[in-house]
Amino acid sequence: MLDRHLHPRVKPWLNRAARRLDRPGISPDGLTLSGFAIGVLALPFLALGWYGAALAAIAVNRLLDGLDGALARRRGLSDAGGFLDISLDFLFYALVPFGFILAEPQDYALAGAWLLFAFIGTGSSFLACAALAAKYRLDNPGYAHKSFYYLGGLTEGTETMLLFTLSCLFPDWFAPLSWIFGALCWLTTFTRICSGYWTLKKAPPERG
């Protein structure tokens, strides 16, 4: 919900940073892989209860996730880079709740499982639509910075980052926040399925 409003404000800063990074030896895919490698550190940090360190790893991951896209737009978006980026994003989003579960299994397991279950719904709904939208060359002007057709919703990247930040700052809030956020994710999934269905229903038929 907030991504389309936040991105235009952040984009100039990311573009300036990407301009400085645009040199031989630095690639968008390299930034994607580096960001994921740092983000993975959040899992052991969370499991050990090092919530401050985990938040730092999460923040660096999200920063590099923004920079890889900005650098890719300077050099030309690629399907391979978009695929790598979204695949590692989903792995990262899943490992954060799992880290909280490892930290306090008795207190966080059920809420964490609910959150992971909800993430599967939001992810599968928009990826399925994106795959079919590419077939019909559909665009979503609100998310023109994406390398694929993107269905928005109540819970997007900005809201997910806010959830992770609050959970790291106030670990005791993880369970209630997860229940609430998971419910919002399922509302997002429902609206994406409906929106995606009718968008594809109205798409012009393929020409043989």
Would residue 54 count as lying in a domain? Answer: yes
Residue ranges making up the domain that contains 79:
3-201
The enclosing domain of 188 has a CATH number of 1.20.120.1760
The separation between CA 176 and the C-alpha centre of its own chain, rounded to angstroms, equals 21
Structure tokens at 46: 């969370």
pLDDT per residue over 152-176, tens digit each?
567 888 899 999 999 999 999 999 9
Would residue 167 count as lying in a domain? Answer: yes
Most confident listed range (2-11, 119-128, 158-167): 158-167
Would residue 206 count as lying in a domain? Answer: no
pLDDT per residue over 68-116, tens digit each?
989 998 888 788 998 899 899 999 999 999 999 999 999 999 999 999 9
Q: If you average pLDDT over residues 180-200, what whole number do you get?
A: 87
Structure tokens at 71: 């650098």
- The secondary element (H helix, E strand) that includes residue 196 is helix 174-201
Q: If you average pLDDT over residues 121-129, what whole number do you get?
A: 82
Q: What is the pLDDT of residue 205?
A: 64
Would residue 207 count as lying in a domain? Answer: no
Would residue 49 count as lying in a domain? Answer: yes
Report the domain count for the chain: 1
pLDDT per residue over 29-39, tens digit each?
999 999 999 99
pTM of the predicted protein model: 0.85
Would residue 208 count as lying in a domain? Answer: no
Would residue 128 count as lying in a domain? Answer: yes
Structure tokens at 67: 């920079």
How many angstroms separate the CA atoms of 95 and 140, rounded? 29
Query: For residues 61 and 35, is the Cβ–Cβ distance under 8 A?
Result: yes
Nearest by Cα to 60 from 34, 25, 98: 34
Residue 147: band (very low, low, confident or very high) from pLDDT cuts 50, 70, 90: very low
